[in-house]
Structure 1
Amino acid sequence: MHRPSVTAFAALFALLASFAHAGEVQLAVAANFAGPIGKIGEAFTAASGHTLKVSSGATGKFYTQIISGAPFEVLLAADDETPKKLVAEGHAVAGSDFTYALGKLVLWSAQPGFVDPQGAVLASDKVRHVAIANPKVAPYGAAAVEVIKARGLADAVTPKLVTAESIAQAYQFAFTGNAEVGFVALSQVAAPGKPVVGSYWLVPANLYGEIRQDAVLLKAGEKNPAAAALLAYLKSEAAQKLIRDFGYGLASP
């Protein structure tokens, strides 16, 4: 009869010991990254035993909640300014912030063939409503406004704008047809392993400022090993592969 080796017993013991000390992370994540964090969270839990309690929404709203005492331990923002601001104001741990993804903006319609590869439809009379996330609280919404101005369409398109609370809601407006098109994240319409729904224009990066999405350890998570483990895991090859698979870029080391 085959007997497990001492090495196998030691590995099993180490695994069980790590799971016995497993913790939970209170995570605030930008709405555009809700899909990726689902997959990353599964892999993180499998590797560490730690679990994530995820809230997704607009980065600006999370900022307001955090400075008001919300118990989030890690923030995955849609920009790099909010984490830096939280560090400067004493709500996050100095030196813990880093860029985990570079966002990509698309103009998307739920209708196949509606959006052309050059985005010319944005100036068309076929478009009566354009969904964007609130540019005051959502970096992708601010990027959308930049694109509209860069295309010289501010006067024509601004009256057509339908402002959503977050990029997730902007996607819903376009998905349900309440807006013919919406400015959303590439990750929302081109998830790995799933067919692309509708049609989209991948907006050239030179039409809007770089969307650097930073992570940061918040003060509430400073003494939680699971929170530190999550931030370390985001830098791993496994996590970075998933981030790329969802259509994001990665910052240079």
Structure 2
Amino acid sequence: MFRISMGKRLLGVSVIALALGASSVQAATVKVAVAANFLAPLNALVTAYKAAGRSYSSSTFTVTSGATGDLAAAISGAVTSGGSTPYDLLFAADDTTPASLASTLSSYGVVQTPYFYAQGKLVLWSKYGPDVSTAGYAGFPSPAGYAYANGQVAIANPSTAPYGTAAQQVMARVTGITYPGGSYDAKFSQYSTITATYNAVNASTGTTSYPNLGFVAKSLLCDASTGAIRSPLTGTYFEYTPSSVDGGAPHDRLLQNAVAIRGRSGASDAAVDDFSAYVQTAAAKTIIQSYCYLTTTS
């Protein structure tokens, strides 16, 4: 009788231990909206998070990429119309959009405190066009006479894409070109996201294939295995060093913040918060840096 009783006790302890072990790993669904420039690093972060053995590492992630302004508008529109957020997290390409969401949706109590996750870099890349590596206008060749073919210069939409805003600032503050609304408008080809801008330049096949010059995110030219511009890279590029003070040339810093939004049906706040915490760890910062981002605001 003693042996049977002890066996039952041991079996009971084993079942309890298994139950406790199972409860430490929980699954949830996390829906993430990410600015186009950060899609590849985010996917790498999700992969690393799922392998990290954290409490919610077995969660399922659904990632939607687009222009920061468009993603924020989708969140704001859904919440203000009486619905719930379509995304649990927004990784923006700036720090102003998450702050604006927190302000405009403050009465709904769903937007959490934004946090910094990366600082981006703007690069002018000329695949088959003018040499920009030693140009005198902070990368952009002299605009004298506007000697570019129509549609030769690619730019992301400044209204919705922060990297497009930074490019717009470069044109205004360094070269004196107003875009849009200036006499140089026809020389530009505009795209909805910075990834679409990069793809357009990359699709160029020669000196008369336009656009063959464009403002892109450094991360899109980056070799994640080295953390530097990939080599060899067709053409020439100029990497901008942003002003330390907003309003200065060549452009404001591309500080990128993320923010959690509560209220989606079926969402797990704990899973969202755990992933946010992981993004701010040293291991995650190493991944972010490998895609040519800074992880400091300096």
Query: What TM-score bracket applies, with the shorter chain setting the length?
Result: 0.7 to 0.9
Q: Is the 8 A contact 2:29 2:268 kept in 1?
A: no
Equivalent in the alignment of 1:52: 61
Quick check: which has more Rg, 1 or 2?
Answer: 2
1:241 pairs with 2:294? no
1:200 pairs with 2:217? no
Aligned length: 243
> 1:12 and 1:46, CA in 2 relative to 1: closer, same or farther beyond 3 A?
farther
Query: C-alpha separation between the residues in 1 aligned to 2:295 and 2:280?
Result: 10
Query: C-alpha separation between the residues in 2 aligned to 1:179 and 1:112?
Result: 9
Percent identity for Structure 1 against Structure 2:
32
- Give the Å deviation of 1:16: 5.1
1:219-239 Cα offsets, whole Å, 9 max, x none, are 236743211111101100011
Query: C-alpha separation between the residues in 1 aligned to 2:184 and 2:225?
Result: 34
- Give the Å deviation of 1:44: 0.9
TM-score of the superposed pair, with normalisation by structure 1: 0.85
Equivalent in the alignment of 1:65: 74
Query: C-alpha separation between the residues in 1 aligned to 2:193 and 2:296?
Result: 24
1:12-51 Cα offsets, whole Å, 9 max, x none, are 98775444x1212100000000111111110011122223
Query: C-alpha separation between the residues in 1 aligned to 2:269 and 2:129?
Result: 46
Equivalent in the alignment of 1:75: 90
Equivalent in the alignment of 1:121: 141
Q: Which runs of 5+ in 2 are unaligned?
A: 1-16, 79-84, 205-209, 244-249
Equivalent in the alignment of 1:96: 113
Cα RMSD for the two superposed structures: 2.8
> Tell me, what secondary structure is at the counterpart of 1:99?
strand
Q: Which runs of 5+ in 1 are unaligned?
A: 1-10
Deviates more, 1:145-154 or 1:103-112: 103-112
> 1:122 and 1:14, CA in 2 relative to 1: closer, same or farther beyond 3 A?
farther
Among 198, 213, 231, the alignment partner of 1:171 is: 198
Residue identity matched to 1:150:
R
1:85 pairs with 2:72? no
Equivalent in the alignment of 1:6: none
> Tell me, what secondary structure is at the counterpart of 1:25?
strand
Among 263, 267, 274, the alignment partner of 1:220 is: 263
Query: C-alpha separation between the residues in 1 aligned to 2:36 and 2:121?
Result: 14
Query: C-alpha separation between the residues in 2 aligned to 1:204 and 1:127?
Result: 27
1:133 pairs with 2:156? yes
Query: C-alpha separation between the residues in 1 aligned to 2:159 and 2:241?
Result: 22
Q: Is the 8 A contact 2:111 2:262 kept in 1?
A: no
